Amino acid sequence: MFLIVGLGNPEEKYAKTFHNMGFLAAGDAAALLDAKFRKKECEASVAEAYVGGEKIVIARPLTYMNASGRAVKQLMARYKISPAELVVIYDDYDLPKGHVRIRPSGSAGTHNGMRSVIAETGLTEFARIRIGIRDPEVNIPIINYVLSEVKKEDYELFSSACKRAAEAAVSLAGGERIDLVMGKYNG
């Protein structure tokens, strides 16, 4: 069993914002596994797939970013997920745009969604895949930036980053060691 969670905001008005990179990557992971988001449970939209006989749950919390941890905690309890079976994908203002960085553990950094996940679950030892969004040419407050839409000229860059993040998550869910996944996808 494995749980992949992509953080974002559920309303359509946020669909193309930087803060929805996790949602987009979760959609890409579901597409890679030919899974559809067909049900809602534990305050999340959920898709299910099987790889090598192992169930993989892909989720997009419907709680909004700052309360993402509620859904993650409920999903972990519902599916009896251990920290080693969890990966969370999210945008990261501290990384340059388009970069993907995978880590086996860590802090929330400046990310309120991850602060919520850590606070609700009490965990820091779980895999996370961060998608860099920082553009050094933009100088506005972080909250305004993360809720702004991706520029058209950057769409392909972010689309590619989300696909790489999804591939990394599926590799982890398929049993590939995190150090090998980091070596393949970080950067």
Mean pLDDT of 118-133: 97
Q: How confident is the model at residue 86 (pLDDT cuts 50, 70, 90)?
A: very high
CATH number at residue 6: 3.40.50.1470
Between 187 and 170, name the one with better pLDDT: 170
The yes-or-no verdict on residue 187 having pLDDT over 80 is no
Please tell me whether residue 118 adopts helix, strand or coil conformation: helix
Q: DSSP E strands: which ranges in the chain? A: 2-6, 39-41, 44-51, 54-61, 86-96, 100-103, 127-134
pLDDT for the residue numbered 124: 96
Pairing of strands 54-61, 2-6: parallel
Which of the four pLDDT bands, split at 50, 70 and 90, describes residue 185? Answer: very high
Average pLDDT for 94-105:
96
pLDDT recorded at residue 142: 87
pLDDT (mean) for 50-69: 94
Q: pLDDT confidence of 138, banded at 50, 70, 90?
A: confident
Do 138 and 109 meet the contact criterion of CB atoms below 8 Å apart? no
Q: Is the pLDDT of residue 134 over 80?
A: yes
Count of domains forming the chain: 1
82 pLDDT exceeds 90?
Answer: yes
Provide the domain limits for residue 70. Answer: 2-185
Q: What is the mean pLDDT of residues 2-12?
A: 96
Q: Cα-flanking dihedrals φ and ψ of residue 78, to 5°?
A: -60, -45
Give pLDDT tens digits for 37-56.
Answer: 999 999 999 999 998 889 99
Asked whether residue 97 carries a pLDDT value surpassing 90, the answer given is yes
**Would you name the residues annotated as active-site residues?**
19
pLDDT band (50, 70, 90) for residue 177:
very high
27-51 b/e (C-beta count within 10 Å ≥ 16 → b): bbbbebbebebeeeebbbbbbbbee
Phi, psi of 31 (to 5 degrees): -65, -40
Average pLDDT over residues 156-181: 97
Contact (Cβ atoms closer than 8 angstroms) between residue 185 and residue 167: yes
Q: Is the pLDDT of residue 104 over 90?
A: yes
